[in-house]
Amino acid sequence: MNILTVLALVQAVTLSGRLQGGVTIRPDTVRVGDPFTVSIRVRVPLGASIEFPAAPDSGGPVEPLDPVQIGTTADSIAVDQTATYRLAAWRTGTFQIPFADVLVRQDIGNRRVEVSGVIIHVASVLPPDTTGIEPKPQRGVFTFGLPWWIWALVAALAVAMMMLIVWLWRRRRRRPVPREAPFAIAEREFNRIEGIELLAAGERARYVTLMIEVLRDYVAAVVSGASTAQTSNEMASAMRKAGIGTYARCAALLSEVDLIKFARRPVSADRAAALGREARAIAQSVHQALSAPEKTAKAA
Q: What is the pLDDT of residue 296?
A: 58
Higher-confidence position of 95 and 165: 165
The 8-class DSSP code of residue 216 comes to H
One domain for residues 186 and 93: no
Orientation angle between helical segments 182-196 and 269-299, nearest 10 degrees:
160
Peptide bond into 35 cis (omega under 30): no
Q: What is the pLDDT of residue 57?
A: 78
Tell me if 22 is assigned to some domain: yes
Among the ranges given (25-29, 54-58, 276-280, 293-297), the one the predictor scored with the smallest mean pLDDT: 293-297
**Adjacent-strand bridge partners of 72:** 81
Q: What stretches of the chain show up as alpha helix (H) in DSSP?
A: 148-174, 182-196, 204-222, 232-241, 247-262, 269-299
List, for residues 164-195, the tens digit of each pLDDT value.
Answer: 998 888 887 765 556 789 999 999 999 999 99
Tell me if 147 is assigned to some domain: no
Number of domain units in the chain: 2
| Domain end residue (candidates: 98, 123, 148) | 123
Higher-confidence position of 93 and 202: 202
SS3 label, residue 105: strand
Tell me if 142 is assigned to some domain: no
**To the nearest whole number, what is the mean pLDDT of the chain?**
81
pTM listed for this prediction:
0.41
Give the pLDDT band of residue 32 (cuts 50, 70, 90): confident
One domain for residues 187 and 290: yes
Q: What is the pLDDT of residue 158?
A: 93
Which of 9-23, 108-122, 134-148, 249-263 has the highest mean predicted lDDT (pLDDT)? 249-263
**Type and span of the H or E element at 98:** none
Tell me if 175 is assigned to some domain: no
The whole-angstrom separation of Cα 234 and Cα 212 is 15
Among the ranges given (41-50, 188-197, 206-215), the one the predictor scored with the smallest mean pLDDT: 41-50
Give the pLDDT band of residue 274 (cuts 50, 70, 90): very high
98, 56 contact by CB (below 8 A): yes
Domain at 89, CATH number: 2.60.40.10
The 8-class DSSP code of residue 47 comes to T
Residue 278, pLDDT > 90, answer yes
Domain at 288, CATH number: 1.20.120
One domain for residues 294 and 187: yes
Tell me if 134 is assigned to some domain: no
Tell me if 43 is assigned to some domain: yes
Structural domain harbouring 291: 182-299
Q: What is the pLDDT of residue 214?
A: 94
Tell me if 138 is assigned to some domain: no
Q: What is the pLDDT of residue 59?
A: 67
